[in-house]
Structure 1
């Protein structure tokens, strides 16, 4: 049947798909808009599958914190190119998905994909984005946090790195909280305190340090003691509260917070594009 340019334009506005794709879908659906949309979505699914092996290591990190600081959420959405990540529609979708995580207290990507946005699941919205944009697009990670502390967020310029820091109590000066969040972004600690470091990591660090010292010819007993010294330096480099504060190296982060009469850090989440944790 003959398909009018007006119908093609209307379908394109509804779906964001290309003009020729819309025209072919309408022809295949005999002018039925609902069927044409379904056809386009199926094409998007095929395109998504076709691009499943492509690298999607660009994208955005977005965060949201409640007005009282008691709840926070973060989301990583990935695409193939920085050009797409800078697209306003892509950025708006990221914020919409983040709002779903925040408002529904979503705890996993799979759970998010099943949630509805404007009568479509998030999974279907992603398929439509793939169909429209022509790149692999996926939700990388999400975080929803409400563990009883006070949350502060920081997004590094470019939205490729985001941090949520939970403090043990209310932070009266948000700039202090931001400073600590920036510390997490810059120094990439693995734990808040040394007690939080996994015992297997501690054992590995001690073993490496001891082996290095023995290889240097140190006696076993001296190597054992010196390895403990190296472990202390490891904690100072990798444990947040023991790290040197980046804005004042004369203080540790813990000393800085105590000096500012600010609650200590309880937990943190650091999301960087392409990292697994």
Structure 2
């Protein structure tokens, strides 16, 4: 029977290594709760310093594109690193391509991370949840817990770094980036992206045009 890993154990390991919470949890589970063994595991993987590197300035990088089969979906993504040397590495280019493909596959994603979501969007989602009938008769504290859980889930659906990596669903995009930070030795940031859908917005314009024609006919 494996030893249960507590939140305090995870926090302790994170404070000692600077590695991500999920990486610490996995290392502790693999070492059956032995902090020293877990530290050694994280150091071997290079993850012990990934979080510290993630605060460094990243102004180099590249813009990658992906056009899906049939040419109906296109994506541009800007991926930043610290030096031009890393930007030219095949592994960095492959990461950028994988991210572009991920964005083409996950069309509900609108932002890189929660920090990029405007406050009015968060308030809008809260108002939708507040108006749902299934929580109308709940006590206030329970209602707030339910809404918080639903909002957190909804915001994750909108964010790229919270998605499961389509090529390896055992890790998130956030973990994928940290793995590459550890491997390439530099901070890596997804700065921005743009998704293009063939014909997007044209239907509304057609509807508006038809309405205008009807008005013209009715006014004659």
**2:200 is aligned with 1:275:** yes
**2:63 is aligned with 1:151:** yes
User: What's the CA shift string for 1:168-227, capped at 9, x where partnerless?
Assistant: 222632222111111111102111111111211111111222332664532122111221
Instruction: Work out the number of aligned pairs and report it.
Output: 131
The 1:171/1:225 distance shift into structure 2, 3 A limit, reads farther
**2:125 is aligned with 1:200:** no
Per the TM alignment, residue 247 of structure 1 is displaced from its structure 2 partner at its CA by 1.9
**2:163 is aligned with 1:243:** yes
Out of 54, 73, 97, which is 1:178 matched to?
A: 97
Out of 259, 265, 268, which is 2:190 matched to?
A: 265
Decide which structure has greater helix share.
Answer: 2
Q: Tell me the distance in 2 between the aligned counterparts of 1:176 and 1:200.
A: 32
Where does residue 211 of structure 1 map in the other structure?
Answer: 131
Q: Tell me the distance in 1 between the aligned counterparts of 2:104 and 2:192.
A: 14
Q: Tell me the distance in 2 between the aligned counterparts of 1:240 and 1:204.
A: 20
User: Does the residue aligned with 2:63 lie in a helix, a strand or coil?
Assistant: strand
Q: Tell me the distance in 1 between the aligned counterparts of 2:88 and 2:180.
A: 10
The 1:209/1:222 distance shift into structure 2, 3 A limit, reads same
Please say if residues 149 and 266 of structure 1, whose CA atoms lie closer than 8 Å, have aligned partners that are also in contact: no
Please say if residues 243 and 252 of structure 1, whose CA atoms lie closer than 8 Å, have aligned partners that are also in contact: yes
Please say if residues 213 and 223 of structure 1, whose CA atoms lie closer than 8 Å, have aligned partners that are also in contact: no
Please say if residues 135 and 143 of structure 2, whose CA atoms lie closer than 8 Å, have aligned partners that are also in contact: no
Q: Gapped runs of 5+ residues in structure 2?
A: 1-58, 82-86, 202-220
The 1:216/1:193 distance shift into structure 2, 3 A limit, reads same
**2:77 is aligned with 1:165:** yes
Q: CA RMSD in A?
A: 2.3
TM-score for the superposition, normalised by structure 2: 0.54
User: Does the residue aligned with 1:237 lie in a helix, a strand or coil?
Assistant: helix
User: Does the residue aligned with 1:231 lie in a helix, a strand or coil?
Assistant: helix
